[in-house]
Each structure stands twice: as C-alpha cells, then as structure tokens.
C-alpha cells in the first residue's frame, strides 16, 4: 500500500494518515485487512461514529484510506459507491479580525514558531506547507513564495509581502537555519513538524484570552477574508490559496462583514420606492 501511494506521489502527510487508519482498522478486528470485507468496513465506521465520536471529516479520511487499500492495492472487485461517506456539515470558517490577529501574535513564544505562524497568515499557507518551505523558496527578487507539493501534490506561488520578508530576514539573522529547510527541526535534515507549531499556536491562543479558537488554518482563513475585504478578486485569492474549485474560495464571501454590509437589502429598496414616488407627485 505504501508503494502504491508513493507511485501516485501522495503527500507524506496523506501516506501517514492512511497507514494510521488502516492499521487501527486491522487492530480493531485483530486480522489482516486482506481477509476483511465491506461489512467489516461498515461495522468499523459505526464504531468510529458511535463510540469514538470522531468527526465526519475523520471518518471520511478512514473511508478514503480503506477504499484505496481495497480497490488499488488489494484489487478487490468492488466499486467506489460501496464505501459510503459521512455527510459533512457545511460550517463557515472562523475568521479573526485584524485586531485579534495582532493580539494573538503578541502571545506567540519562540522566534521560529512566531515566524511560521506569521507566514501562514501573511501568505495564506497551510501549516504543512509552511513548515516544509525551503530557503530557496523565498524569492525576494519577485516577492513570491514557492510552495512545493501542496494539497493534491500541486506546486504554486503565493505572495511574499515586504513585511513578511523583513520578519524572515530577522529570523534568519537570529537562528541561522542551516540545510535546505527554512524552518529546520532539531532532528538532522528534517523540517519542523506541524504538530510542534500547532502546540505553540494552541498555547498562544489560550494565553491571548481570545474567545475564537485559533489554529494555523484559522490564520489561513483570515488571510483570505482580509484580502476579500480589501477588494482582491476571488479568482486571485483562489490561486494564492491553491484551491482547485472557486466555490471553495467563495465561502469567504459569507464571513466577510465588509462584503455583507456593502450589499443593499431589498427591503431598503422597497421602502425607498414610495418616498421617491411621493416626491415625483409633489
């Protein structure tokens, strides 16, 4: 299964996630997955939902993992439709106001953690993309950040603001990162883990006293919403975020106060119409 994922150039995070879910699936039944069937998948899906109380997103990741195992690696004569997925609730993303972003960053400890989280907000990166940046991905001549193997294995460019460039230069002067990684781990030849940054993010959120829960992905949501409020076209935001579908980017219109408030209500137009008619008669 690992070889099959490598042949298809799956992201390392996807490979680890799939193996984790398939291993737990096998341990639950104490049998090799090759002797399990669709009824076992159904029973385990109910177990994840009813007993472990996993989110629909996590359950669907399990379904993706076993679907790949059975259809690709084991070549079972089943169809994708034989693996029903949990219905997802369409929730609006949490977005911080600019003042809340500033308040949050004032509580982030550690030069490296601060630099990574600011990069997530300043360029709209996923945490997995930010920690995997190479020093050579910072293009100060064209003011771009190169993202290699983003979600879906796609490369893209996103913005490198002058403010972020100064922060990254200050970070490099202080910590002098060596090797290929912009944010190296203490482990040789490895980059900082997403989990370590998420822990630092959680601690900063708790210390900030903000009621909105802050995660690296909330910073990415805030980046997109603040661009929209500044008049940036949704197609440009789609390219910067690396979204394959425009309707994914369009979610941010629903959480942008500036966009909502700038839209006239039909009731206001209706109430204004009689007043105009009276003035015309007079």
CATH 1.10.443.10 intervals, the chain: 98-260
Q: What is the DSSP letter of 4?
A: H
Model pLDDT for residues 25-37, shown as the tens digit of each residue: 999 999 999 999 9
- 85-102 mean pLDDT: 86
Structure tokens belonging to residue 54? 């996993």
Which uninterrupted H or E stretch holds 139? Answer: strand 138-139
Helical segments of 33-81, H only: 38-46, 56-68
pTM tops 0.75: no
Query: For 215-243, what is each residue's pLDDT tens digit?
Result: 999 999 999 889 888 888 888 888 888 88
Positions marked catalytic: 126, 151, 217, 220, 243, 252
Q: Say if strands 144-147 and 138-139 run parallel, antiparallel, or are unpaired.
A: antiparallel
* Close Cβ partners of 172 (under 8 Å, ≥ 6 residues apart): none
**Integer CA distances (angstroms), 4 to 10, 138, 219, 274, in order:** 9, 32, 34, 69
Superfamily of domain 98-260: Intergrase catalytic core (1.10.443.10)
CA-to-CA distance for 93 and 217, rounded, in angstroms? 9
What is the phi/psi pair of residue 85, to 5°? Answer: -105, 155
Q: Which part of the chain has CATH 1.10.150.130?
A: 2-82
Q: What is the pLDDT of residues 25-83, one digit of tens each?
A: 999 999 999 999 999 999 999 999 999 999 898 999 999 999 999 999 999 999 999 99
- CB atoms under 10 Å from CB of 269, counted, come to 9
Q: What is the pLDDT of residues 114-125, one digit of tens each?
A: 999 999 999 999
How would residue 255 be classed by pLDDT, with cut points 50, 70 and 90?
A: low
pLDDT at site 148: 86
Does the domain made of 2-82 have the CATH classification 1.10.287.1060? no
């Amino acid at each position: 299964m690992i070889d099959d994922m490598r042949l298809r150039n799956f992201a390392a995070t996807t490979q680890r996630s799939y193996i984790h879910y398939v291993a737990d699936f096998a341990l639950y039944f104490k049998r090799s997955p090759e002797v399990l069937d669709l009824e076992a998948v159904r029973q385990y899906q109910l177990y994840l939902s009813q007993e472990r109380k996993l989110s629909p997103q996590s359950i669907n990741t399990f379904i993706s993992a076993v679907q790949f195992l059975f259809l690709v690696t084991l070549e079972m004569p089943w169809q994708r439709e034989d693996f029903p997925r949990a219905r997802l609730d369409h929730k609006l993303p949490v977005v911080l106001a600019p003042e809340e972003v500033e308040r949050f960053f004032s509580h982030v400890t550690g030069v490296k953690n601060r630099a990574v989280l600011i990069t997530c907000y300043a360029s709209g990166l996923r945490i997995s993309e930010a920690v995997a940046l190479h020093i050579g991905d910072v293009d100060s001549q064209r003011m771009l950040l190169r993202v290699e193997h983003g979600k879906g294995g796609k490369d893209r460019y996103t913005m490198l603001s002058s403010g972020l460039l100064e922060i990254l230069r200050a970070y490099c002067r202080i910590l002098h990162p060596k090797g290929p990684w912009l944010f190296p781990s203490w482990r040789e030849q490895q980059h900082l883990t997403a989990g370590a940054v998420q822990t630092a993010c959680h601690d900063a959120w708790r210390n900030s006293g903000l009621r909105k829960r802050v995660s690296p992905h909330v910073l990415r949501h805030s980046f997109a919403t603040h661009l929209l409020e500044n008049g940036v076209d949704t197609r440009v935001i789609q390219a910067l975020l690396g979204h394959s579908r425009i309707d994914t980017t369009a979610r941010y219109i629903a959480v942008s106060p500036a966009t909502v408030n700038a839209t006239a209500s039909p009731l206001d137009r209706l109430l204004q119409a009689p007043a105009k008619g009276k003035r015309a008669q007079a």
